[in-house]
Amino acid sequence: MNADGRTRLNQTPEWTALAKHREELAGTHLRELFAADPGRGEGYTLQVGDLYIDYSKHLVTDDTLRLLRELAAATDVFGLRDAMFRGEKINVTEDRAVLHTALRAARDAVIEVDGENVVPKVHAVLDKMSDFADRVRSGAWTGHTGKRIKNVVNIGIGGSDLGPAMAYEVLRSFTDRALTVRFVSNVDGADLHEATRDLDPAETLFIIASKTFTTIETITNATSARTWLLDGLEGDAKAVAKHFVALSTNAEKVAEFGIDTANMFEFWDWVGGRYSYDSAIGLSLMIAIGPDRFREMLDGFRLMDEHFRTAPAESNAPLLLGLLGLWYGNFHDAQSHAVLPYSHYLSRFTAYLQQLDMESNGKYVARDGRQVDWQTGPVVWGTPGTNGQHAYYQLIHQGTKLIPADFIGFAEPVAELSGELKAQHDLLMANFFAQTQALAFGKTAEEVRAEGVAEELVPHKTFQGNRPTTTVLAKELTPSALGQLIALYEHKVFVQGAVWNIDSFDQWGVELGKVLAKRVEPALTEGAEVPGLDASTKALVGTYRRLRGR
């Protein structure tokens, strides 16, 4: 029994039943499951908004799905879900509400935190962002010298970078192509250098995105950006007001940095960094695609929120995807999960999901403070699929590790494509469908022999198959479809954290490295003695200093 009154997860009857069921299912091949049920290909699917979700190529039967849902019921996933939507402080270690869903709530919705309805605040900021975005896009907002803003540089890291950077790429075909939009995150000076080297300071707007406004990488880059701007504008400090805006929860620190809080777009501590790109953190994206498109994206998020909040367990997509991930992680020893988009525009999608999933569920301590003795979050990885096919798919097809994968594709190429480039889409999608087919059904030795392959090569050319995949197919890559997809993954991650009984909304694990970096820096720059420095790090620091001629 846990301190919070819950039975240890892996001692519940529901968990034990799944472990037993896994044994019974061992050796069952997807080929058999499909042969036994001709309706499986259409039956094991869901349509949520624009997303057609096919989960037929998973190593599951109706019994598996029922047992997984029973585990979700026993761990009260929907109870925690409702508490989240109500604004309860389910982020227990930080004593905070978790309300990214309020960021896309309808204007007339009522969602209370500590007795205050937060929805009017959300819409006030959205309106302020819209007004600002329109002024930048129309040229009404000019730089210090009166020149029109042509370049937007977002400086932020983690949740203050990955979301807008990803979404900007995804929605590139909806952006104002006259604007150059760049994202700087790395404290390596090369990042800011490359982002600004061909820009005119008089035409450049910096958006400093930081929830806390204390993140050293962001503040360092923002300080260097200010120097770059002032160097280019004859040192006139008044220029900062026209070229710097801030996205933050921390007005005090924003003012301390020298940005007028009138140019600050606010969000709140009940928005986790990795759940924040539909808040003020999305300002760079909104400038790029315009407020209307941004709101369409929010509508997409809301559609999936409503689905997650109201759909029964049997047809609840985030619940299903969360449970399927858990099925492999906890009952098949899968260590990782690949996300493989078949869209060039989704090139940063998996990188975004890495923070969403791994920072949320990379935890070994349960909500009750005790160490878990079950697997939690997987390693999430992947790049656009066709490129992956010529790199790492070999291991997914014939390696010794089970890697469940999500395949994401779109029926239509983006509207901008025409002629031959548009025609290429069918080839892209032929690959998309072929890969999940090969992964699921493989190729038997008999099939290989029938092709006249020499006997000694038969084992090499045989594919076991039985590699599970989810296919997510939408008609078009629109702002709304993107919102639906992101919310699908947000809630999938939620479901898994709820079952594992971990706090998916804190991130204490990243703190230690930050503290140590601060302690080590004087050793690099001044050769200062760092008390308690281990022998390995001491030798590395010494070598670094020698190589730098210090």
State the catalytic residues: 359, 390, 514
Cα gap 403→311, rounded to integer Å: 28
Count of positions on this chain that bind ligand F6P (CB under 6 A): 14
Which of 210, 211, 213 lies closest to 271 in space, CA to CA? 211
Question: Which amino acid would we find at residue 543?
Answer: T
Which residue, 399 or 509, is less far from ligand F6P as judged by CB?
509
For residue 455, count CB atoms less than 10 angstroms from its CB and return exposed for 0-12, middle for 13-18, buried for 19 or more.
exposed
Which residue, 56 or 279, is less far from ligand F6P as judged by CB?
279
For residue 439, count CB atoms less than 10 angstroms from its CB and return exposed for 0-12, middle for 13-18, buried for 19 or more.
buried
Stretch that binds ligand F6P, among 77-85, 108-116, 204-212, 485-493 (CB under 6 A): 204-212
Which residue, 369 or 509, is less far from ligand F6P as judged by CB?
509
| Binding-site member from 143, 273, 384, 483 for ligand F6P (CB under 6 A) | 273
Cα gap 507→522, rounded to integer Å: 26
| Binding-site member from 36, 140, 216, 510 for ligand F6P (CB under 6 A) | 510
Which of 530, 78, 62 lies closest to 319 in space, CA to CA? 78
Give the shortest CB-511-to-ligand F6P separation in angstroms. Answer: 8
Question: 245: part of which helix (H) or strand (E)?
Answer: strand 244-248
Give the shortest CB-111-to-ligand F6P separation in angstroms. Answer: 22
Report the 10 Å Cβ neighbour count for 520. 17
Which residue, 60 or 281, is less far from ligand F6P as judged by CB?
281
Query: Among the residues of 61-110, which ranges form H helices?
Result: 62-74, 77-86
| Binding-site member from 40, 172, 182, 274 for ligand F6P (CB under 6 A) | 274
> Please, are residues 163 and 193 in contact by the beta-carbon 8 Å criterion?
no
Which residue, 137 or 182, is less far from ligand F6P as judged by CB?
182
Cα gap 386→353, rounded to integer Å: 19
Asked if 212 interacts with ligand F6P (CB under 6 A), we say yes
Stretch that binds ligand F6P, among 156-164, 284-292, 337-345, 399-407 (CB under 6 A): 156-164
Which of 45, 54, 65, 59 lies closest to 470 in space, CA to CA? 54
Give the shortest CB-326-to-ligand F6P separation in angstroms. Answer: 24
| Binding-site member from 185, 204, 218, 469 for ligand F6P (CB under 6 A) | 218
Window 355 to 374, contacts with ligand F6P (CB under 6 A): 359
Stretch that binds ligand F6P, among 120-128, 205-213, 405-413, 537-545 (CB under 6 A): 205-213
Give the shortest CB-401-to-ligand F6P separation in angstroms. Answer: 28
Pairing relation of β-strands 469-474 and 51-54?
Answer: antiparallel
Which of 99, 221, 114, 205 lies closest to 160 in space, CA to CA? 221
| Binding-site member from 56, 61, 151, 210 for ligand F6P (CB under 6 A) | 210
| Binding-site member from 215, 360, 361, 462 for ligand F6P (CB under 6 A) | 215
Give the shortest CB-376-to-ligand F6P separation in angstroms. Answer: 17
> Please, are residues 12 and 24 in contact by the beta-carbon 8 Å criterion?
no
> Please, are residues 503 and 363 in contact by the beta-carbon 8 Å criterion?
yes
Which residue, 273 or 404, is less far from ligand F6P as judged by CB?
273
Give the shortest CB-513-to-ligand F6P separation in angstroms. Answer: 9
Which of 386, 380, 323 lies closest to 352 in space, CA to CA? 380
| Binding-site member from 21, 57, 211, 363 for ligand F6P (CB under 6 A) | 211
Binding residues for ligand F6P (CB under 6 A): 157-160, 210-212, 215, 218, 273-274, 359, 507, 510
